Structure 1
Amino acid sequence: MLYHVRMDVHLPPDLAPAERGDIIAREKEYSQKLQREGRWPHLWRIAGEYANFSILDVADHDELHALLSGLPLFPYMNIEVTPLAMHPSKIAD
């Protein structure tokens, strides 16, 4: 199943620099692993925001929830999820 996901990050301003750096490094490692596995095929930065639009390709809602809640930045995110379906006018690949 494909999902369009918007993730907005809101790190606390008083977060210690070392902790901030650690969380961001773990987030990058985790997200790149999922990209290499094909479960996170698209990732775009939203210009001017600490946010992204992503397309995730997972088996079901439960796998999506596990993937998102496993993000190191998850406690600091607002996440909006939209399930996607094939459009009948799309030209097949």
Structure 2
Amino acid sequence: MLFLVHMHVQIPPDADKDMIERKKAEEKAYSQNLQHEGKWRHLWRIAGEYANYSVFDVESNDELHTLISSLPLFPYMKVSVTPLAQHPSAIVQN
């Protein structure tokens, strides 16, 4: 199942800087592992924002929820999810 996920990170200005840097490093490793596994298929930064659009390829809504909520920066995120389906006019089918 494919999902388009928008993640907008909102770290409070008074958050501990060292803790946030550790979480960022953990998140990078975690997200790259999911990319290598093929579950996090695309990761696109939104220019000028601490946000991204991503495409996940997972087995279920529950798996997606588990992956996203396991992100180290998840407590600081606003997340929206859009399920995707094949378009009948698309030349390339996934």
Q: What residue number does 2:7 align with?
A: 7
Tell me whether 54-63 or 11-20 shows the greater mean CA deviation: 11-20
Q: Give the equivalent residue in structure 2 for 1:61.
A: 61
The alignment partner of 2:35 has SS state of helix
Q: How many percent of aligned residue pairs carry the same amino acid?
A: 59
TM superposition shift of 1:92: 3.4
Query: Which residue matches 1:26?
Result: 26
Q: What is the root-mean-square deviation in Å for CA atoms of aligned residues?
A: 0.8
Q: What is the identity, as a one-letter code, of the residue corresponding to 2:83? A: P
Structure 1's unaligned 5+ residue stretches are: none
Aligned structure 1 segments of 4 or more residues deviating by more than 2 angstroms: none
Q: Secondary structure at the match of 2:21?
A: helix
| Superposed displacement of residue 91, structure 1 | 1.3
Residue 43 of structure 2 is aligned to residue 43 of structure 1: yes
The letter of the residue matching 2:16 is A
The amino acid across from 2:31 in the alignment is: S
> Which whole-Å deviations, capped at 9, do the CAs of 1:15-65 have from their partners, x for residues lacking one?
111101101011101000000000001000000000000000000101000
Find the residue that maps to 2:40 and give its secondary structure: coil
Normalised TM-score (structure 2): 0.96
- Cα distance, 1:11 vs. partner? 0.6
For residues 42 and 7 of structure 1, the distance between their equivalents in structure 2, rounded to whole angstroms, comes to 13
Quick check: 30-39 or 11-20, which moved more? 11-20
Report SS of the residue matched to 1:92: coil
The residue type equivalent to 1:89 in the other structure is S
TM-score by length of 1: 0.97
Count of paired positions: 93
